[in-house]
């Protein structure tokens, strides 16, 4: 059924106080209730719905999320959005799952991100997801380690192990951290099914609804989501340039936040590195206020020139820094192996909480990573990926400079995965994303990383997933989109504008 015909004559009331997404949701809900859209009807894709009502894709996504919360529609991954509620027998006998769900945070950009990561449109080149290049995963080494050692494993090692983690891996991680100036022993380490799990566990054991947390803005979206889902109130610390310790101190005095979440090295998304003296000043301030700092550090091993300063955890003189690490970016994300370093009292409490969700992380992955570390394969692998990613970063920097410099600003990151770009002319990054999709290129709009609304001028490009040739093609598609937008803007600027009454 072409449902566009039921909707396309409907105009939204821009003077209405009700947000546009709610207006669209109630229009569709009305058609569903009147059986004009019977149960099972496939609704238009988000992009088409946005075009139908001449609204942004975010507004269309919000409208569908609202209907989903009301149990009127459901989304089938990779297929589309369907009407669930009708007055036919099926609707009356089936379990109304969406109506049973607990409330969840409505973040339309999170769903854009999920789309970018999980279902790339065929032909679209994605610079969105923050992923290492699969061609560089050290799979041969892993196969060799597996084949050489599987005969020596006691089958018991693949039974249940302590929730805190596979002990040889905890020891290997403690040794690795000690080498980086972070004194640690086995009892300080909890292995995780990815560092994202560490964020979740920390939110479960430290946060109650209404608690304050301080976060850089922009910052890692996975952390924003976890803390918001815990009901925390986020205090934003702008971080594109120097971190304002004065503002942080003001937050500490005024709100007594439970923790500060921070990415001091090759920050996601800005690529910023906190200088040594700023790190020391932050630790001094945190010590004075006995502030818990959650230091997330997935990228510090990926430096393409100078080594970054030591981790905050290495400067921790008051036992307040909790350190999160992961093998997702330096090896590969499917290992789902990360770790947390902190005081034993915290490790024990987190392990109790972890038991509720997965008993312990996957033994085989932990066993393989242990051998990778103990047989000193990591240094060699890091040399390879650093060399390759440095070339990619340089290629992308040159291409952006050559083709996009009239439209965007960026700084060249010293490490990590990302270019953080800023539009210097009119237009928003979400509009750019919509237009870029037509030219087969995608990225993450900056709004997704902010804890407060912004002018929506920024966006993030990942330079590690694809080889240089593909990156060049990506920048060309981006440049083409920017030129098209500039041209349309000029045409619009020269068109006579209508006079609106001032009310
Ligand atoms: C800053 C940051 N923290 C944590 C994670 C999650 O990593 P993991 O795969 O270990 O869960 C990511 C992944 O993108 C990240 O960028």
Q: What is the pLDDT of residues 193-221, one digit of tens each?
A: 999 999 999 999 999 999 999 999 999 99
Rounded mean pLDDT of 431-441?
87
Rounded mean pLDDT of 367-391?
97
Which among 296, 354, 362, 417 is the best mutation to test ligand 1's pocket, defined by most ligand atoms within 8 Å of the CB?
296
With cut-offs at 50, 70 and 90, classify the pLDDT of residue 323.
very high
The β-bridge partners of 74 are 82
194 CB under 6 A from ligand 1?
yes
Rounded mean pLDDT of 110-135?
74
Indicate if the pLDDT at residue 501 is higher than 70.
no
340 CB under 6 A from ligand 1?
no
Of 26-35, 274-283, 478-487, the least confident: 26-35
SS3 content of the chain, % helix, strand, coil (to 5): 50, 15, 40
d(CA 197, ligand 1 centre) in Å: 9
Domain 125-135+380-488, CATH among 2.70.70.10, 3.30.565.10, 3.90.1150.10, 3.50.50.60: 3.90.1150.10
Give the residue with greater pLDDT, 400 vs 83. 400
Cα–chain center distance at 394 = 24
Rounded mean pLDDT of 272-291?
96
pLDDT digits (tens, 9 = 90+) for 151-176: 888 888 889 999 999 999 999 999 99
With cut-offs at 50, 70 and 90, classify the pLDDT of residue 382.
very high
Whose C-alpha lies nearest to ligand 1, atom 14?
A: 130
Question: What pLDDT, on a 0 to 100 scale, did the predictor assign at position 438?
Answer: 86
- Tokens representing 483 are 């030129």
Contacts of 151 (CB under 8 A, 6+ apart): none
- What is the Cα–Cα distance from 296 to 223, expressed in whole angstroms? 10
In the CATH hierarchy, which top-level class contains the domain 4-104? mainly alpha
Longest dimension (CA), the chain: 81
**Torsion angle (degrees, nearest 10) of CA 12, 13, 14, 18:** -100
Question: What pLDDT, on a 0 to 100 scale, did the predictor assign at position 414?
Answer: 97
d(CA 378, ligand 1 centre) in Å: 19
Per-residue 3-state assignment (H helix, E strand, C coil) for 344-397? HHHHHHHHHHHHHHHCCCCHHHHHHHHHHHHCCCHHHHHHHHHHHHHHHHHHHH
Question: What pLDDT, on a 0 to 100 scale, did the predictor assign at position 397?
Answer: 97
d(CA 7, ligand 1 centre) in Å: 41
Indicate if the pLDDT at residue 257 is higher than 60.
yes
23 CB under 6 A from ligand 1?
no
- 10 Å Cβ neighbour count for 329? 23
- What is the Cα–Cα distance from 3 to 7, expressed in whole angstroms? 7
Give the closest residue to 61 by CA, choosing from 21, 100, 98, 28: 21
* Average of per-residue pLDDT values in the chain: 88
Domain parsing of the chain, residue ranges: 4-104, 125-135+380-488, 139-376
pTM score, whole prediction: 0.81
Question: What pLDDT, on a 0 to 100 scale, did the predictor assign at position 2?
Answer: 60
Whose C-alpha lies nearest to ligand 1, atom 6?
A: 196
With cut-offs at 50, 70 and 90, classify the pLDDT of residue 121.
low
Give the closest residue to 147 by CA, choosing from 371, 331, 332: 371
Question: What pLDDT, on a 0 to 100 scale, did the predictor assign at position 4?
Answer: 67
Give the residue with greater pLDDT, 89 vs 190. 190
Give the residue with greater pLDDT, 305 vs 101. 305
- Tokens representing 12 are 């939204």
Indicate if the pLDDT at residue 126 is higher than 70.
yes
DSSP-derived letter for residue 233 is E
The answer to whether domain 139-376 has CATH 3.40.640.10 is yes
């Amino acid at each position: 059924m072409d449902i566009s015909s039921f909707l396309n004559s409907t105009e939204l009331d821009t003077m209405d106080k009700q947000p546009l997404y709610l207006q669209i949701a109630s229009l569709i809900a009305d058609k569903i209730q009147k059986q004009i859209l019977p149960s099972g009807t496939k609704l238009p894709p988000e992009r088409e719905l946005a075009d139908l009502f001449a609204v942004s894709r975010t507004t269309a996504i919000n409208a569908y999320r609202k209907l989903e919360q009301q149990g009127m529609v459901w989304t089938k991954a990779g297929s589309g959005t369907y009407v669930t509620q009708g007055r036919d027998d099926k609707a009356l006998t089936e379990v109304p799952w969406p109506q049973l769900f607990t409330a969840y945070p409505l973040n339309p950009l999170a769903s854009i991100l999920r789309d970018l990561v999980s279902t790339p449109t065929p032909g679209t080149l994605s610079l969105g997801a923050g992923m290492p290049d699969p061609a560089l995963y050290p799979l041969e080494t892993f196969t060799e380690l597996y084949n050489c050692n599987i005969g020596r494993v006691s089958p018991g090692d693949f039974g249940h192990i302590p929730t805190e983690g596979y002990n040889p891996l905890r020891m290997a991680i403690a040794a690795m951290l000690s080498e980086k100036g972070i004194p640690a022993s086995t009892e300080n380490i909890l292995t995780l099914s990815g560092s994202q799990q560490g964020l979740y566990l920390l939110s479960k054991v430290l946060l109650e609804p209404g608690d304050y947390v301080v976060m850089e803005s922009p910052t890692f979206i996975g952390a924003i989501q976890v803390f918001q889902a815990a009901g925390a109130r986020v205090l934003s610390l702008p971080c594109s340039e120097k971190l304002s310790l004065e503002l942080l101190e003001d937050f500490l005095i005024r709100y007594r936040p439970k923790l500060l979440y921070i990415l001091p090295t090759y920050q996601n998304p800005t690529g910023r590195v906190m200088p040594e003296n700023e790190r020391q000043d932050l630790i001094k301030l945190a010590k004075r206020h006995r502030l818990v700092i959650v230091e997330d550090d997935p990228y510090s091993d990926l430096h393409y020139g100078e080594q970054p300063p030591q981790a905050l955890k290495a400067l921790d003189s008051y036992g307040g820094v909790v350190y999160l690490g992961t093998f997702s970016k330096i090896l590969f994300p499917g290992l789902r192996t990360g770790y947390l370093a902190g005081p034993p009292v915290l490790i024990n409490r987190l392990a109790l909480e972890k038991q509720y969700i997965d008993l312990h992380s996957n033994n085989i992955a932990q066993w393989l990573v242990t051998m990778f570390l103990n047989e000193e394969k990591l240094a060699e692998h890091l040399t390879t990926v650093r060399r390759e990613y440095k070339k990619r970063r340089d290629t992308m920097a040159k291409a952006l400079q050559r083709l996009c410099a009239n439209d965007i600003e960026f700084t060249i990151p010293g490490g990590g995965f990302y270019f953080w770009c800023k539009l210097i002319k009119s237009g928003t990054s979400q509009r750019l994303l919509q237009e870029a999709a037509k030219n087969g290129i995608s990225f993450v709009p900056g709004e997704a990383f902010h804890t407060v609304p912004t002018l929506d001028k920024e966006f993030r490009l990942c330079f590690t997933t694809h080889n240089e040739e593909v990156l060049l093609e990506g920048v060309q598609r981006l440049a083409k989109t920017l030129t098209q937008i500039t041209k349309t803007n000029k045409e619009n600027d020269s068109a006579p504008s209508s006079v609106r009454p001032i009310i």
